[in-house]
Structure 1
Amino acid sequence: MFYQILPSIIFILAIFASLLVVLRRLPEAAEIQRKQGPNMPVTEKLAGKGLPAQAVSKLRPILEHWTKRVWNFILEAKDLKPGSLPGYKFRKIFGRRLRHQPQPLRQTTPPLTTAEVKDEKYYLEIIKKEPKNLANYDSLGKYYLDTQNYGDAKDIYLYLTNHEATNSDYHARLAYSFYQLEQYDKAAEHYKKSLALDSAQPTRYYNLGLSLEAAGKLPEAIKAFEQARTLEPDNYKFYIGLSQIYDKTGDKDKAKEMAALAKQKEGLHISKKVKVGG
C-alpha cells in the first residue's frame, strides 16, 4: 500500500535534498575562501585536502541534525517513536512465557473463544503492519486481559484512552485492569468515565460499586449497586453485592432484605436456564 511506503519515500527524498544543499554550498564556500584568502581559519589537514573537504566539515553538523529530524519524522509517521506507547516494547516479538488462562471474574468483555485466541507474537506482528489501527491494540489488550497480564493490559488501554478518549469500552477495560492491580481509586475513575459515555451498562455500575467498595467509599458504592439493580432488576449478583455492602455499613435489616431478594432472583435465574435447556 502506498501509505506504508510513503515514509521511506520521504526519507530518500530528504537524503537527495541534503546532497543538493551540499552541492549548492560548494560555490559559495569557494567564493568565501577566495575573498578571505589564506588567513581563513582552516586546519592544515583539511587545507591539504582542498575545498570539498572543508565544505563537508562545515556542513556535517547541519546534515546530522536534519538526518535525525527526518528519521524521527519517519518513526512518528509509523507511530513507532520511542515512548509513544507506555510499557510497549517490540522486543516482545521474540517471545516471552505466557501466563495461565484466567478465570474471568466480573470481566466487562466476554473472554475470547478458543478459535480466536492467538499468541502475543501474532498480535504484535499485526500492530507492526498496521500501527495506526487502534483495533489492533485493542485485540492485544483483550489478549492480555484473557491471560491475566493486567500490567501490560493497563499500558495498552492507557494508550488507547489517550488516543480515543470517547470510547467507553477502552475506559471500562482500563478500569478492569486497574481493579485487578488493586488500584481501586483509578478503577473507579475510569468506570465513571466509561459510564459518562455510555450509561446503559448495568455491569459497569456493578463493577464501579465493587471498586468504590474496595476503596472504602461505601455510600458511593451503594449508589452504584442500586443503579445497576435499576437497569437490570433480575440480576441476583447485584442484590448479593448490595447485601454485603449493607452488612458492612451495619444496616442488618437492609442486608437481610437484599439477601432474600438475591435468593429469589437466583431462583428465577436457575428456573429460566432449566426452561431454556428443556
Structure 2
Amino acid sequence: MRIAITGGTGLVGNALTESLRADGHDLYILTRNPENGYQKGVTYVKWLSSRADPASELEAVDVFINLAGESINSGRWSDKRKASILNSRVSATNEVVSIIKHLKQKPKLLINASAIGFYGTSTVDTFTEATEKAGDDFLAQTVEKWEAATFEAREFGVRTVFARFGVILDKKDGALPRIALPYHLFAGGTVGSGDQWLSWIHIKDVVSGLRHVIESTELAGPVNFCAPHAVTMKSFGKTLGSVLNRPHWIPAPSFALQLLLGEMSMLVLEGQKVIPEKLIKSGFSFTFPTLEEALSNIYS
C-alpha cells in the first residue's frame, strides 16, 4: 500500500512509520527538508516550501495521514503562541487537501490528526463520538476549526477520519516523561484536585488503532483514540507511583500550576472522560486497556 504521512518525525509519526515500514508498505514522508531524510525504504517529499510540488510525486497514493502541527506543549499560551498552534494545524490540513485536489487519482482515505480536546472539559460528563457540540475553550475551538479544514476532501469522496487523540503514553516523548519526573525524584503527588479525568492511550495502541482504521472501511468521521478506561489524575498518580515503586505524597496545588503555566495549566488541571466507542464497536482490541498494564509495559 502507498501511504503518505505528514508530521512523520513526531511521536506518532515515528512510531507509525516504523510499523508500516517493517511490513513493506511504500511510505512517502512530506517534509520541508527532504534532503535530511535517512530511513531506508522511505521516499521524502518536499512540501510547504517555495517551488515544492508534492502532488507530482504522490499520484496513486492510497492513504494520506496528516499528523502535522505545532505541539500544544511548546510553551506558555500567549496570544501569539495560540495563533501559531491553530494556524499550523489548519494551514497543514489545507495544504493536504490542496494536494488531494490536484491528484488525478484520489486516495481512498484521509486520516487527519485531531484531539479529544474537542469535547471541552468536565468532571461529570462522559463523551463519545456521538457528542457533536464542541467545547468553548481554546483547545476545543482549535480542534473544531482543524477538523473543518478537511471538508473539501470529503467532497471529493475521500473517506475522512478525525483521529481524536487522548494523552499518548510513551517512555521518552509526550506528556508522560514530564508527569513521571517528580516520581523519579521521590516528589510525586496528586496534581490539582485529582478529580479531573485523564483519557490516555499507549503509543502502541495508537499505531495499531491507526492501522485498524486503514483496514476498516466503515469507519469515518471522528474516532476517539483513548483507552476504554479513563482514570482520574489522583488514580493515575497512585498507579504511576506504584509501577515506579515511588511514593505518591507531595501534591501540586492548582494555583501554583496556574501561576507557572497560565492558561496552558488546563492541560493538567482539567480533563474529560472519553470512551473510544467507534474503535470498540468496530472490533479493535486494545493491547493495553488498563493503565497498570500500559505503565508496566512502558517501564518494564
Q: Taking structure 1 as the reference length, what is the TM-score of the superposition?
A: 0.26
Kindly indicate which of the two structures has a greater share of residues assigned to strand: 2
Q: Which has the higher contact order (CA 8 A, sep 6+)?
A: 2
Q: Look at both structures and tell me which one has the larger radius of gyration over its CA atoms.
A: 1
Kindly indicate which of the two structures has a greater share of residues assigned to helix: 1
Q: Taking structure 2 as the reference length, what is the TM-score of the superposition?
A: 0.25
